[in-house]
Every structure is written in C-alpha cells, then in structure tokens.
Amino acid sequence: MIEHPALQVVSGAPVSGDGAALARRILDGDGSVAESLEMVARHLLTDPRVEVVVGALTVFAPDDRSGWVQLGGRAWIREWARPGSGFSALPPPDAGPEAALSMPWLSGLARKDTVVIVDRELLPPEADVDRSELSRFGVRSLVASTLLSRGEMFGSLSAISLETGPWPEEIVEDVRLLSAAISSRITLEHSRRALAEAIDTGTEAQLAYQQFFGAVGHELRTPLAAIVGYTEVLMDDAAEQPQDPVSAALLRDGPVILRACDQLVAVVDSLLGAGRTIAADEQRQDVCVADAVADVLHWHRTPARNAGVALSADIDQALTAWAHEAGVRQVLTNLVGNAIAHHRPEGGTVHLTATSLLGESGRPMVRVIVRDDGPGLAPDQMLHVFEPFVRFAGPGTKGSGLGLSISRTIAERDGGAVQGESTPGVGTSFWLELPRAAAQRP
C-alpha cells in the first residue's frame, strides 16, 4: 500500500471477538452470500464511526433481491444505514451503471488490500474523480475492500463515515477479515453454481446423444437395408441373363455397391455403439479388469477361431479400475477386434496383460495391454491411427476407421487414455489406461 496523508495504514491489529465469530459463521456456510453481507453490515454498524455499509455483487445476483438495486446488467448494490440516518450512497433505482461510484483511483488500490481513507480532501490530484464522487454523496472517509479470489472480482464491501480522521484499527481489521470470508463463500457458491450448470449441460448433452444416434440408426439403416435388398434382387435377376449388357453391368458393379453398403453399415454400427456407451445412464464404479477381459475374449472366440488367431490373457484378478463398466468393455472390444482383424495370412496370437503403474501426474492407474504379432504399422501410420475414418487395412478387412478414435474418447471420459506402439513385421500393442479403483491404491 502506498503512503499518503489521505490513507491510513493498518497492519497487525487484532480483529474483534464478534468479527472473528462472524467470519467463522460465514465460512461454515450459515446463510447465503447476500445474508452474509447483511450480517457483516449489521456488525459494522455497531461502531459509532460507521454511518452506512455498502455491498456490491458483480458475478451473480443475490438469491433474495429485496433491498438490492441493479445497475445495468453488471452489478447489484445494497446499503445498510444506521437507524434514523437520512444518508444514502445509492443512486436512484432507475439509474444506469454510470450513476454508481466508479472510484478509479481507490478501486486500483482496493484490489491489492483494504483501503482506508481518512479524509477525502487529502486525496492526491490523480484521485480527482474519486474526490468528486465522494463529495457528490457527502462521504468524508471510508474503509473499502474488494471481494476478490484468484484474481477474479466478485464485488466490494465499504464502510462509510460522515466524519474525518483515523479509523479504529479493529474496524479496519474486521472489514479485511470479513471481506476475505465472504470472498471464500462467493468462490464456493460460484463453484457450486458452475457444477450445477455443468451437470445440467451434461444431461442435455446425454439426451442430445441419444436423439442423434437414434436418428442415425433410423435414417441410415432403413435406406441402407433397401439399397442392399434391391441390389441383391437385381443381381439375382441379372444372373439369369448374364449375356444382356445391363445384366453384365449389374453383375460387375453390384458387388461394389454391396461392399460400400457393408462399409457404411460398419460406420453406422460404430456410431450407434459409441452413442449407447457414452449416452448410457451409468455411473463410474469399480470394474474388475479380469472379468471385463474374460467377457471380451469370450465374445471374440468365434471370429478368432475363424481367423486362426489364438487368444490368451494373464490378468491379476485383484486389479480394479474406476470407470464406466460398459465403456471398459467397449474399448477392449475395439482393441481385441482390431488385433484379430489385422492378423497374418497364417493366423497369429493376441495376448492381453494388465499392470498397475503411476500415470504422468502421479495418479495410480491400471493399464490393459492388447498385444498381437500381426504385420504391424509404420511410424508415420501410427501418427494418424487415432484419426476418425483412417484405415490402414486391406480392402478385404472390414471396419469403419472409427474404433480407435471412439475408444480414446470413451477412455478420456473416465480420466484415462488409449495409446499404442507398433513395429512393422513384429506386431502391435494398444493399451487402455484407466484410474485405479480407490481400494487398490497404495
């Protein structure tokens, strides 16, 4: 704080017993922010030096707006005056924000610490605007504090006097302490409101997901089924007259149409599967990794057998992740399905393991690794493998190019990740990393 005859410097003085008790009451959450401001005002008005207390809120409106005056759309202001006092520092109710005290010089100081003005007439020339505004309302001296937290201004608190001279140090320290207590309450209330808004937004997003993917399923599946059906009928008819030029063209191009439809159906199925997983009304819970892996391997026994791929797993039954259960199985299904699909012509192996580790932030994690001995991917391919619709498989391998992208999204929703590494000619490993369940943490 700068030194100036108009300013009073107070440091190290004790707060009053009532002020300390009131600060504890505010921090305990007794009453709303507006009620806390009123309790502080009533406390400060017990000192004969204080004529009026003015409180302002700039982040959100008070729950009970009785007695509060809104200035434009940026601030709510209220004053509490000594009984019988005819003094008022508030602008008329119909005034705009320009009618409020701007106090540019004082506001800059109040952002750093509580400011105490002992006499407005002693203010320096650079505070001419402040002196003019104080004179307009008849304010001779004041104690002002900004409600500030983490650099964000939530409002202000001022004790006003019609007298000049030094302020009782106990009052100044009470204002400093109680302003800090209210700032903490406002920060908490602001966080609660932000959380409530986030929950509401999440619920709306979940409904939007359900509606969108439901529309995808209906609007795309129905015409696709028609295209496939009519194409197959036309090809059957063409097979009866293969020498006809139109029939020959259908027999040549029909399989291309069917393969394109199969590809589009795979995309639709990937979107629908992701939509059901992400939009499902399911809570995070302890997920036994071994059980999830066992289910996924069971579902893939037949396609693995048909491809000549041997499936195996070595998972500690005690490993537990904190995640959405359906999401874990969906990601592992994508990873195992990819490993089976991208096998060597003579078959191969897919082996799953799991381990505990500390993540980059030091958080306990569980990593499930899906390792295959397929042809592998080149380094430049690995750079793009998580991009939507990117595929490096041959034309005979089915897939939408969305599996890895969707898997990463599902894992990140639970605070995890999906990553991979590959060596051409040796094989590929992709892993799912998720937070470890609390019971499994050291």
Q: Bigger pLDDT: 158 or 279? A: 158
**What is the predicted pLDDT for the residue at 140?**
93
Q: Which two tokens stand for residue 121?
A: 């007439």
314 strand-pairing partners:
353
For residues 402-407, average pLDDT: 79
Q: Give me the amino acid identity at 94.
A: D
pLDDT at 352: 94
Tens of pLDDT, residues 178-210: 999 998 888 877 777 776 676 566 666 666 666
CA distance linking residue 411 with residue 304, whole number of Å: 25
Q: Which of 45, 49, 53 is nearest to 163 (CA)?
A: 49
User: Per-residue pLDDT tens for 234-267?
Assistant: 888 888 888 888 888 888 888 878 777 776 666 6
Q: What is the rounded CA–CA span in Å between residue 379 and residue 309?
A: 25
Q: Which residue has the higher pLDDT, 410 or 101?
A: 410
In the predicted model, what is the mean pLDDT of residues 279-302?
84
- Give burial (CB, 10 Å; 0-12/13-18/19+) of 266: middle
Alpha-carbon span 341 to 139, nearest angstrom? 81
Q: Which long-range contacts link 296-305 to residues 24+ away (Cβ below 8 Å)? A: 296/329, 296/332, 296/333, 296/336, 297/336, 297/352, 299/333, 300/333, 300/336, 300/337, 300/340, 303/337, 303/340, 304/340, 304/350
Go through the domains of the chain in sequence order and give each one's CATH number.
17-196 (3.30.450.40), 283-442 (3.30.565.10)
Which residues on neighbouring strands pair with residue 70, listed in sequence order? 76
Task: Write out the two tokens for 108.
Answer: 């800059």
| Whether the Cβ atoms of residue 316 and residue 352 lie closer than 8 Å to each other | no
On average, the pLDDT of the chain sits at 82
On the question of pLDDT at 411 being above 80, the answer is yes
What six digits make up the tokens of 58? 């700039």
Higher-pLDDT residue of 275, 437: 437
Task: Reply yes or no on whether the pLDDT at 72 is more than 60.
Answer: yes
pLDDT-based confidence at residue 395 (cuts at 50, 70, 90): low
pTM: predicted TM-score of the whole model, two decimal places: 0.50
- The single-letter code of the amino acid at 250 is L
Per-residue model confidence (pLDDT) at position 244? 85
> pLDDT of 349-378, one tens digit each?
999 999 998 876 678 899 999 999 988 888
> What is d(CA 191, CA 263) in angstroms, rounded to the nearest whole number?
46
pLDDT at position 89 over 80 = no
Query: Which of 18-22, 25-29, 246-250, 358-362 is most confident?
Result: 18-22
The closest of 117, 137, 112 to 52, measured between CA atoms, is 137
**What is the per-residue pLDDT for 276?**
58
Q: Is the pLDDT of residue 79 over 80?
A: yes
Cα separations (Å) of 110 from 45, 114, 153, 388? 21, 5, 11, 52
**The predicted structure's pLDDT at residue 136:** 86
Residue 225's pLDDT band, with cuts at 50, 70 and 90, is confident
Strand partners, 344: 347
SS (H, E, C) the chain: CCCCCCECCCCCCCCCHHHHHHHHHHHCCCCCHHHHHHHHHHHHCCCCCCCEEEEEECCCCCCCCCCCEEECCCEEEEEEECCCCCCCCCCCCCCCHHHCCCCHHHHHHHCCCCEEECCHHHCCHHHHHHHHHHHHHCCCEEEEEEEEECCEEEEEEEEEECCCCCCCHHHHHHHHHHHHHHHHHHHHHHHHHHHHHHHHHHHHHHHHHHHHHHHHHHHHHHHHHHHHHHHHHHHHHHHHCCCCHHHHHHHHHHHHHHHHHHHHHHHHHHHHHHHHHHHCCCCCEEEEHHHHHHHHHHHCHHHHHHHCEEEEEECCCCCEEEECHHHHHHHHHHHHHHHHHCCECCEEEEEEEEEEEECCCCCEEEEEEEEECCCCCCHHHHCCCCCCCCCCCCCCCCCCCCHHHHHHHHHHHCCCEEEEEEECCCEEEEEEEEEECHHHCC
Among 379, 357, 385, smallest CA distance to 441 is for 357
pLDDT greater than 60 at residue 97 = no
CB 373 within 8 A of CB 351: no
- 124-137: pLDDT as tens digits: 999 999 899 899 88
CA–CA separation, 156 and 357 (whole Å): 48
Count CA within 13 A, CB hemisphere, residue 137. Answer: 27
Q: Which residues contact 411 (CB under 8 A, 6 or more apart)?
A: 327, 331, 417, 418, 432, 433, 434
The pairing of beta strand 417-423 with beta strand 285-288: unpaired
Residues 46 and 55: beta-carbon distance below 8 Å: no
pLDDT at 58 over 80: yes
